[in-house]
Structure 1
Amino acid sequence: MPSSVVAHFSYDEETGTLRIRYVSGMVYDYRKVPLEVYRAMRDAPSKGIFLNTFIKDQYDFEKVE
Protein backbone atom coordinates (compact mmCIF):
# COMPACT_ATOMS: atom_id res chain seq x y z
CA MET A 1 0.00 0.00 0.00
CA PRO A 2 2.66 2.60 -0.78
CA SER A 3 1.14 6.08 -0.77
CA SER A 4 2.57 9.57 -0.65
CA VAL A 5 -0.40 10.70 1.50
CA VAL A 6 -1.65 7.75 3.59
CA ALA A 7 0.80 5.98 5.89
CA HIS A 8 -1.74 3.54 7.34
CA PHE A 9 -5.48 3.05 7.65
CA SER A 10 -7.79 0.76 9.59
CA TYR A 11 -11.51 0.21 9.90
CA ASP A 12 -13.81 -0.62 12.82
CA GLU A 13 -16.85 -2.45 11.44
CA GLU A 14 -18.82 -2.02 14.67
CA THR A 15 -18.70 1.78 14.58
CA GLY A 16 -18.01 2.38 10.89
CA THR A 17 -14.91 4.37 11.83
CA LEU A 18 -12.15 4.67 9.26
CA ARG A 19 -8.89 5.75 10.91
CA ILE A 20 -6.33 7.36 8.61
CA ARG A 21 -2.74 7.98 9.63
CA TYR A 22 -1.23 10.43 7.18
CA VAL A 23 2.42 10.41 6.16
CA SER A 24 2.72 13.68 8.12
CA GLY A 25 1.88 11.74 11.29
CA MET A 26 -1.57 13.26 11.81
CA VAL A 27 -4.39 10.82 12.57
CA TYR A 28 -8.07 11.33 11.77
CA ASP A 29 -11.17 9.22 12.38
CA TYR A 30 -13.85 9.41 9.71
CA ARG A 31 -17.27 8.44 11.11
CA LYS A 32 -20.05 6.24 9.71
CA VAL A 33 -18.08 5.11 6.68
CA PRO A 34 -19.83 2.13 5.05
CA LEU A 35 -17.90 -1.15 4.88
CA GLU A 36 -18.13 -1.05 1.07
CA VAL A 37 -16.33 2.31 1.00
CA TYR A 38 -13.55 0.95 3.23
CA ARG A 39 -13.19 -2.10 0.99
CA ALA A 40 -13.05 0.10 -2.09
CA MET A 41 -10.30 2.19 -0.50
CA ARG A 42 -8.39 -0.94 0.51
CA ASP A 43 -8.50 -2.12 -3.10
CA ALA A 44 -7.86 1.27 -4.73
CA PRO A 45 -4.55 1.65 -6.57
CA SER A 46 -4.14 5.19 -5.17
CA LYS A 47 -5.16 5.59 -1.54
CA GLY A 48 -4.63 9.35 -1.63
CA ILE A 49 -6.83 9.92 -4.68
CA PHE A 50 -9.53 7.68 -3.23
CA LEU A 51 -9.36 9.49 0.11
CA ASN A 52 -9.63 12.92 -1.49
CA THR A 53 -12.45 11.88 -3.82
CA PHE A 54 -14.64 9.62 -1.69
CA ILE A 55 -13.82 10.23 1.99
CA LYS A 56 -12.86 13.85 2.64
CA ASP A 57 -15.83 16.22 2.67
CA GLN A 58 -18.16 13.19 2.61
CA TYR A 59 -17.99 12.02 6.24
CA ASP A 60 -17.75 13.66 9.63
CA PHE A 61 -14.25 13.44 11.05
CA GLU A 62 -12.26 14.08 14.20
CA LYS A 63 -8.54 14.67 14.67
CA VAL A 64 -7.17 11.99 16.99
CA GLU A 65 -3.57 13.04 17.56
Structure 2
Amino acid sequence: MKRERLDSSSLASVGYDPAAHVLEVEFRNGGVYQYLDVPDGEYEEFITAPSKGRYLNTEIKPNHPSRKLSPPRRPR
Protein backbone atom coordinates (compact mmCIF):
# COMPACT_ATOMS: atom_id res chain seq x y z
CA MET A 1 0.00 0.00 0.00
CA LYS A 2 1.34 3.43 -0.89
CA ARG A 3 1.75 5.70 2.12
CA GLU A 4 2.12 9.47 2.35
CA ARG A 5 4.51 11.16 4.79
CA LEU A 6 2.95 13.00 7.72
CA ASP A 7 4.02 15.99 9.77
CA SER A 8 3.50 14.27 13.12
CA SER A 9 5.67 13.65 16.17
CA SER A 10 4.62 9.98 16.44
CA LEU A 11 3.46 8.97 12.95
CA ALA A 12 5.78 8.82 9.92
CA SER A 13 3.34 7.94 7.14
CA VAL A 14 -0.19 6.74 6.43
CA GLY A 15 -1.99 4.93 3.63
CA TYR A 16 -5.59 3.94 3.07
CA ASP A 17 -7.24 1.31 0.87
CA PRO A 18 -10.85 2.48 0.38
CA ALA A 19 -11.95 -0.79 -1.26
CA ALA A 20 -10.77 -2.89 1.71
CA HIS A 21 -11.30 -0.18 4.38
CA VAL A 22 -7.75 -0.69 5.65
CA LEU A 23 -5.74 2.11 7.26
CA GLU A 24 -1.98 1.51 7.29
CA VAL A 25 0.17 3.52 9.70
CA GLU A 26 3.95 3.70 9.95
CA PHE A 27 5.16 4.98 13.31
CA ARG A 28 8.33 7.02 13.78
CA ASN A 29 9.91 4.03 15.57
CA GLY A 30 9.54 1.97 12.36
CA GLY A 31 6.54 -0.16 13.36
CA VAL A 32 3.86 -0.60 10.70
CA TYR A 33 0.27 -1.53 11.58
CA GLN A 34 -2.92 -1.98 9.63
CA TYR A 35 -6.27 -1.07 11.17
CA LEU A 36 -9.22 -2.94 9.68
CA ASP A 37 -12.81 -1.97 8.91
CA VAL A 38 -12.08 1.78 8.88
CA PRO A 39 -14.84 3.50 6.88
CA ASP A 40 -14.01 6.24 4.38
CA GLY A 41 -15.56 8.94 6.59
CA GLU A 42 -13.48 7.95 9.59
CA TYR A 43 -10.32 7.99 7.48
CA GLU A 44 -11.21 11.53 6.35
CA GLU A 45 -11.68 12.59 9.98
CA PHE A 46 -8.32 11.04 10.87
CA ILE A 47 -6.39 12.63 8.01
CA THR A 48 -7.83 16.09 8.75
CA ALA A 49 -7.52 15.88 12.55
CA PRO A 50 -5.28 18.53 14.16
CA SER A 51 -3.47 15.71 16.02
CA LYS A 52 -3.37 12.50 14.02
CA GLY A 53 -1.63 10.65 16.86
CA ARG A 54 -4.35 11.60 19.33
CA TYR A 55 -7.11 10.66 16.87
CA LEU A 56 -5.45 7.31 16.22
CA ASN A 57 -5.19 6.59 19.95
CA THR A 58 -8.71 7.68 20.89
CA GLU A 59 -10.81 6.75 17.84
CA ILE A 60 -9.03 4.17 15.67
CA LYS A 61 -7.12 1.87 18.05
CA PRO A 62 -9.99 1.23 20.51
CA ASN A 63 -12.58 0.60 17.78
CA HIS A 64 -10.80 -1.35 15.03
CA PRO A 65 -8.89 -4.63 14.95
CA SER A 66 -5.26 -4.31 13.93
CA ARG A 67 -2.39 -6.39 12.62
CA LYS A 68 1.31 -5.71 12.93
CA LEU A 69 3.25 -5.78 9.64
CA SER A 70 6.74 -5.00 10.85
CA PRO A 71 8.49 -4.60 14.18
CA PRO A 72 9.85 -1.23 15.29
CA ARG A 73 13.50 -0.51 14.51
CA ARG A 74 15.83 -1.07 17.43
CA PRO A 75 18.11 1.78 18.47
CA ARG A 76 21.80 1.11 17.87
**Percentage identity across paired residues of the two chains:** 37
Larger Rg: 2
- Which structure has more helix as a fraction of its residues? 1
Residue matched to 1:19: 24
Name the residue aligned to 1:54: 59
Partner in structure 1 of residue 12 of structure 2: 7
Give the superposition deviation at 1:39.
0.4
User: In structure 1, how many angstroms separate the alpha carbons of the residues matched to 2:22 and 2:15?
Assistant: 8
User: Structure 2: any 5+ residue segments left out of the alignment?
Assistant: 1-5, 71-76
Provide TM-score, normalisation by structure 2: 0.82
Give the count of matched residue pairs: 65
* Regions of 4+ moved over 4 Å: none
The two structures, once aligned, show a CA RMSD in angstroms of: 0.8
Q: For CA contacts below 8 A with separation 6 or more, give which structure has more relative contact order.
A: 1
TM-score (normalised: structure 1): 0.94
